[in-house]
Structure 1
């Protein structure tokens, strides 16, 4: 494999990818700021055209990805181990699950756990006969958006990256996924272009999430301390988060991200228990079982629903938005999952990424979203008003009806901070990995550089008012990435076919050798 990195004492990069990515980032920021009044309108119009005309394609793609994952897990491919037969997992199952959860969904479930079910109740996707059926439908579609389909996208991208990196000794970047098609050409400008696209999607996705997520932190601090929400105040929060993340960067993957992810899980579990036992406990237990059953029972129907007969735009704003967002987010989450999953079999990897995080996410959504709907059904509509006014305040308005409101809200703000730090740290690792050509020994300052780059991009766009436009632009990348992922599935299948042949051949030789040893022993026994 050609050496794609330029190695010196202080710099380990793949120059075409690193430099081009930086230039395009600066150019994008300049254009957003120059055309600040027009850019929102342009991107909104483009997003509408894409989601309206290609939403069906995204729905088909995401369903295919899920069933392809299940096929790989339960077929003979499931016994293939990432890294070869002798490879062993680097992290315990608990640490592995914690890092999956923190990198994949941690920030999102804090923001949407109350807001999304309430929004679906207030503006239902389909007409229902009673408010109770309306609430059940709201939870059903929330489960669709945050359940198996979402995690299957991360699983297939992470699996492909891990397989080609650990079993084929290729760089853990998107270019490697096309080796069966293009061969050594992936080490040229064709491969550079693929890596540049994935690096841009990752850093702008992280920056926009950081920018929008800070609105929830500032809303929480405003609720707790009465601090005024301003761009300067939000910018300081972003820089504080990035600075703390830098400490984690210096600690490394096996310490910084691992420790923070485990802390996230314990804090999140504690917060969930507080809501569970201080809220309508019996209702939550009953609704979780019922809502999970409804989700599984209507799985095919809701996952293929295309809003064809009413077309009121709800699906474009929610389901299509989520599928495009998860796909655009997959280079980051998939790369991070691949980095922490060496030594696991395909079956263990796929089922681990699909089932455990999905169950945790659905439980969380039922505890928070289900409790919020319970309040609404009992006549408390303040949460609906909060969602309609400012979605970032929904979680804290929800906590107002609980005892120890300030304590619970403080824990929630700390958890949002912690999830952001983890995402920033793991995101820096992924971007540095892409732009350095998968260099193992790149200097720490490069990850620090990308960590601060996310924050600076978010701050610039926050002051320029272009965060919404950039989020839309990232979502638009979901369509080309969907095509890339479909090609990747075919490429992965070819690679796994070759791996399975080698594995079966090796096992056959071992078996034949074992038979020969047995026969040899029998002959020796007879002779003696």
Structure 2
């Protein structure tokens, strides 16, 4: 697995180096085809995953532990949440925190832009993209992985979750194909975040010290951070990632409350409450909306919503495996509720505070926040707040630590996927994947920029959706068998007790 995956990844990197223009053109054609032809499928699949996750919370399987009956959680809840966020959406929260709500406010999927009504529409669509649907996708894959690993003693591989359906076939070419698909979905999904992170660090440094904002500088940034995350990866999960995850959570909390206090506090609190009601009322409709008769509205759904569903699906081997690794000992109900609801609420707060501040500055104070680039909008908002320099320094530091933990976690997961599910891959394997990950990111940025990153995500996520659908069926099948065995065991104990009583 390791040799095959590294060989394919190396070929991709070489193609990007030798013929970047042709690669960029091919990815552009692929992106248009995938968005137009499979948008309906992504919408249906994402909605199904949310319904399935809610079903698991209220199902008869809720009390089953992700581990043996006497298993205890390895990490405290605060540390568990911190590790989940650091691996899950860290860089994206900062990159899109201001830029996405303000973009939807200025150009909403329906109606006129830059109006009071478009504030609510824009905010609820941002919540859609980062809310229940996204975390349901993560929760399902992480649940299946954790159950098979800690309950059944299976290797920590995507293919292992299909054992209830495919049996011993998962140990042959079918299982290897599944794991290769997971490897490249992870590679391209994480590459997108690293690309966004390097762009925004560059934008922050341009604002703070005047460093030019261009691809060469971003290459240098990625080179420096590569050294940092390789050092972190070599310290192991319980040291490097755990420490940095807690640092991330602390810095993110400070930044969130600083923005809430320095920004239009009462406006943001009112906006959160209003957006919550609008999101709850419209979540089902938004999650299935395609607008077949309005080209502009269809373009919004394809460019934003469908892209996000593909991004989250492509991240499922990475985030799902990482969440599973740190969730041993939790019950299915506790796990699913926590992964589904807690991050959704925090993401909603985050986008309301950051995006709402940007909207307030444009709608009320007349500033051109929506005219800024995606990577610069956040720093433009800082310019118009007290202590903007301090907030910018804090943000660059936070992006850097998110960058390191995302790359660190990704090399850990890629190492697991290509070494038969080892919980602690060797440093050589992790360093190899770290270099390939950064090289792939640079190739995608050079050949197509943000569009190139998006294309790689959408294409790699499609085959993974079919794998996750089979995974859902296999999980229910395995859980039913588990409950049946528990009932049989209880019946045997009762019969033995009755027999002993009769004999005495």
- Normalised by the size of structure 2, how large is the TM-score? 0.95
* Structure 1 pair 338–441 and aligned structure 2 pair: CA distance change class (3 A): closer
Quote how far apart the aligned CAs of 1:496 are.
0.9
State the match for 1:30 in structure 2. Answer: 14
Determine which of 350, 372, 377 is the counterpart of 2:363.
377
State the match for 2:419 in structure 1. Answer: 436
After the TM superposition, which of the residue ranges 352-361 and 470-479 deviates more from structure 2? Answer: 470-479
* 1:176 has 2:181 as partner: no
CA contact (8 A) 1:113 1:365 kept: yes
Quote how far apart the aligned CAs of 1:135 are.
0.6
* 1:499 has 2:492 as partner: no
**Counterpart-to-counterpart distance in 1, 2:404 and 2:303:** 28
State the match for 1:288 in structure 2. Answer: 272
Quote how far apart the aligned CAs of 1:440 are.
3.8
Mapping of residues 91-102 of structure 1, within 5 Å:
91-102=75-86
**Counterpart-to-counterpart distance in 1, 2:497 and 2:198:** 62
State the match for 2:96 in structure 1. Answer: 112
Number of equivalenced pairs:
502
State the match for 1:240 in structure 2. Answer: 224
State the match for 2:302 in structure 1. Answer: 316
After the TM superposition, which of the residue ranges 352-361 and 172-181 deviates more from structure 2? Answer: 172-181
State the match for 1:409 in structure 2. Answer: 392
* Structure 1 pair 144–460 and aligned structure 2 pair: CA distance change class (3 A): closer
**Counterpart-to-counterpart distance in 2, 1:126 and 1:466:** 28
Determine which of 42, 47, 52 is the counterpart of 1:63.
47
CA contact (8 A) 2:146 2:328 kept: yes
CA contact (8 A) 1:39 1:469 kept: no
Runs of 4+ in structure 1 over 4 Å off: 460-467, 507-517
CA contact (8 A) 2:183 2:417 kept: yes
Residue deviations 1:82-102 (CA, integer Å, cap 9, x gap) = 112111111111111111111
**Counterpart-to-counterpart distance in 2, 1:494 and 1:459:** 42
* 1:144 has 2:144 as partner: no
**Counterpart-to-counterpart distance in 2, 1:452 and 1:29:** 11
* Structure 1 pair 130–383 and aligned structure 2 pair: CA distance change class (3 A): closer
State the match for 2:328 in structure 1. Answer: 342
Structure 2 unmatched runs, 5+: none
**Counterpart-to-counterpart distance in 1, 2:238 and 2:39:** 40
**Counterpart-to-counterpart distance in 1, 2:354 and 2:274:** 15
**Counterpart-to-counterpart distance in 2, 1:275 and 1:467:** 27
Q: CA RMSD in A?
A: 2.1
**Counterpart-to-counterpart distance in 2, 1:201 and 1:318:** 19
Residue deviations 1:350-370 (CA, integer Å, cap 9, x gap) = 111001111111100001011
**Counterpart-to-counterpart distance in 1, 2:29 and 2:59:** 44
Quote how far apart the aligned CAs of 1:445 are.
2.7
State the secondary structure of the residue aligned to 1:274.
Answer: helix
Quote how far apart the aligned CAs of 1:508 are.
4.6
* 1:50 has 2:64 as partner: no
**Counterpart-to-counterpart distance in 1, 2:238 and 2:77:** 14
**Counterpart-to-counterpart distance in 1, 2:11 and 2:313:** 24
**Counterpart-to-counterpart distance in 2, 1:243 and 1:129:** 44
* 1:162 has 2:140 as partner: no
* 1:274 has 2:263 as partner: no
* Structure 1 pair 129–264 and aligned structure 2 pair: CA distance change class (3 A): closer
Structure 1 unmatched runs, 5+: 1-16
* 1:397 has 2:380 as partner: yes
CA contact (8 A) 1:33 1:466 kept: no
Residue deviations 1:303-354 (CA, integer Å, cap 9, x gap) = 2212223132111000011111111111111111111111111001111100
After the TM superposition, which of the residue ranges 501-510 and 308-317 deviates more from structure 2? Answer: 501-510
* 1:87 has 2:71 as partner: yes
State the match for 1:8 in structure 2. Answer: none
* Structure 1 pair 310–440 and aligned structure 2 pair: CA distance change class (3 A): closer
State the match for 1:256 in structure 2. Answer: 240
* Structure 1 pair 509–366 and aligned structure 2 pair: CA distance change class (3 A): farther
State the match for 2:107 in structure 1. Answer: 123
* 1:358 has 2:341 as partner: no
* Structure 1 pair 446–64 and aligned structure 2 pair: CA distance change class (3 A): same
**Counterpart-to-counterpart distance in 1, 2:112 and 2:494:** 61
Quote how far apart the aligned CAs of 1:25 are.
0.8
Quote how far apart the aligned CAs of 1:284 are.
1.1
Quote how far apart the aligned CAs of 1:512 are.
6.5
* Structure 1 pair 514–337 and aligned structure 2 pair: CA distance change class (3 A): farther
Quote how far apart the aligned CAs of 1:299 are.
1.8
Quote how far apart the aligned CAs of 1:467 are.
6.3
Mapping of residues 192-211 of structure 1, within 5 Å:
192-211=176-195
Residue deviations 1:459-484 (CA, integer Å, cap 9, x gap) = 45445566642541222122221121
* Structure 1 pair 195–229 and aligned structure 2 pair: CA distance change class (3 A): same
Indicate the structure (1 or 2) with the bigger Cα radius of gyration: 1
Quote how far apart the aligned CAs of 1:449 are.
2.4
CA contact (8 A) 2:272 2:349 kept: yes
State the secondary structure of the residue aligned to 1:76.
Answer: coil
**Counterpart-to-counterpart distance in 1, 2:57 and 2:48:** 14
- Normalised by the size of structure 1, how large is the TM-score? 0.91
State the match for 1:427 in structure 2. Answer: 410
**Counterpart-to-counterpart distance in 2, 1:229 and 1:507:** 66
Residue deviations 1:427-460 (CA, integer Å, cap 9, x gap) = 1110000011112454223222222332233345
**Counterpart-to-counterpart distance in 1, 2:184 and 2:288:** 31
State the secondary structure of the residue aligned to 1:29.
Answer: helix
* Structure 1 pair 511–397 and aligned structure 2 pair: CA distance change class (3 A): farther
